[in-house]
Structure 1
């Protein structure tokens, strides 16, 4: 189902610790943090952007604080820009300094922070489990994260980079978050990156046998499905279910018969639709290259322009002017 819910934005700036305490409780769960420090120097600011299932929290908090919190049913990960976080979940403890990242515990835990500026990305766990199922074809109910810290410094940097990108995008006017394809693409990006960065059951899954061979006729049916649903957020699992095969079998069949994946084919269809819209658009009505690119799932006009030049040998702006 295509997600057309409007983007919700909430901003708060206050020097009153009680107002901040209430705002944190409403945003992050039914708990009330305890603050330490002078009220006179207190500063708190928070911006929340909710785009469908994906939420981004940006907060600055001048006091030291601690809170008994959780359990968090959603996936939540923090990128600390200034100050530090400390998560304590049973015997598992994680200190996140400035520049570091960490996952919020799934169980009831204690969270400390010190004069912090940070970004938290939040996504329903079922969204992450759905992406995990594509990897190992195990039921989503069996999926879980296994640790709070990233698997390596390189993966921690990858999450920090993603968090920074999302923060800048959310602060940009006309960022495309209201477009279903852009929203779905970002949701999948966050889930896929989370699976690579934080320890989880997909990293310890048993050997998965090779998928059974799929006939060329199934590939043609999958192509027709992708063309019909190109304007909607589409996953390989959805296409495979519509064609009566498994996701890995469909992926293998596309590679065998066409030399590329189902999502690469979908990308080709969408850039062809964008080309059609550019050719039919009237710039005098306010149509722009960036707007058409977002309509067909590109969050970056630069990447869209590069893909368009590779396909059509010209800039999208040239097609729009013609």
Structure 2
């Protein structure tokens, strides 16, 4: 393949610009296997020679490398990091890397679009990022929480290699992606980790003296309203009852939802209920429950309207979701 072919392969798959390559001659035959789903690209690369390379990227990506066999050493800034099957490295955005792979190194690489990772993080903390996202580069995947996350990565890779797998359907691929990103954000330390683990500690106050939540920057009473809806979507919430819980007027609650959430309280509650129904139908076995039973449990009293909303949100009928149960896969 030669240096030019290797450079084209690295750029085409990972977005890396090859600045220098040593150790591989023109007879080298790199092996590359990859899959793309939505905002993820999963691949493995094997050079079959003691490759030394320097790469960088001009793309906003987060790249995780873990040797499936062999070993590697990566220089990130002034730090040398050793990679083994139990130790991965995470690089972010425009980091320049100098890498040395052993001849038997077969590298598993996961590429995530950084915009998608940051968007997922903002969903989790329910607020904007207060500084550019940075994540700890070394990840222990041999034990503990890191191993749990690695198993999600491995499962997704195996499913992509299996013809007819559920992940071939777009909405299922998106669900896998969300799970992989969410778990990574909870397992691996980063500069927003504290926002994920803090509870209801008050943060600052706004100019009117209203306490702000330390995690999202929302008014503290608004976060409590969101929590009661998230934790108990089956309750008969109304804008008035939620406003009473928050000790503000219904009109003020409407305004706060519009400003911070972008939805009315009713629309937010409906979306949460739809998500719960979707999760329940996926987890159920056919014959165990009916769509109507699940819908009523989560507060949908008008079946026809419920089906319309469900199809708008998920692109399929609720009964179609129920058919895709563990027993039918």
TM-score range, shorter chain: 0.5 to 0.7
Q: Give yes or no for contact 2:64–2:88 (8 Å, CA) kept in 1.
A: yes
SS, match of residue 43 in structure 1: coil
- Say if 1:135 and 1:245 are closer, same or farther in 2 by CA, change over 3 A: farther
Q: Does 1:216 align with 2:237?
A: yes
Q: Give yes or no for contact 2:88–2:140 (8 Å, CA) kept in 1.
A: no
- State the 1:77 CA deviation: 0.9
Q: Give yes or no for contact 1:145–1:199 (8 Å, CA) kept in 2.
A: no
SS, match of residue 164 in structure 1: helix
Alignment match of 1:84 (pick from 71, 74, 77): 71
Q: 2: distance between equivalents of 1:272 and 1:198?
A: 32
Matched positions, count: 245
Task: Name the structure, 1 or 2, with higher relative contact order (CA <8 Å, separation 6+).
Answer: 1
- Say if 1:92 and 1:142 are closer, same or farther in 2 by CA, change over 3 A: same
Aligned to 1:60: 46
Q: 2: distance between equivalents of 1:174 and 1:111?
A: 39
Q: Give yes or no for contact 2:153–2:180 (8 Å, CA) kept in 1.
A: no
- Say if 1:159 and 1:70 are closer, same or farther in 2 by CA, change over 3 A: farther
TM-score if structure 1 supplies the norm length? 0.62
- State the 1:136 CA deviation: 2.4
- Say if 1:156 and 1:87 are closer, same or farther in 2 by CA, change over 3 A: farther
Q: Give yes or no for contact 2:54–2:97 (8 Å, CA) kept in 1.
A: yes
Q: Give 1:137-286 correspondences, 5 Å limit.
A: 137-140=126-129, 142-150=131-139, 153-205=143-195, 207=201, 208=214, 209=220, 211-213=223-225, 216-217=237-238, 241-244=262-265, 263-269=275-281
Cα shift readout 1:57-79 (whole Å, capped 9, x = no counterpart): 12122122211313551122122
Aligned to 1:119: 108
Cα shift readout 1:131-183 (whole Å, capped 9, x = no counterpart): 21233233147351232012784233233322321221111112233412211
Q: Which runs of no fewer than 5 residues in structure 2 stay unpaired? A: 202-213, 215-219, 230-235, 241-260, 292-316
Q: 2: distance between equivalents of 1:218 and 1:79?
A: 49
Which structure has the larger Rg over C-alpha atoms?
Answer: 2
TM-score if structure 2 supplies the norm length? 0.61
Aligned to 2:95: 108
Q: 2: distance between equivalents of 1:135 and 1:27?
A: 29
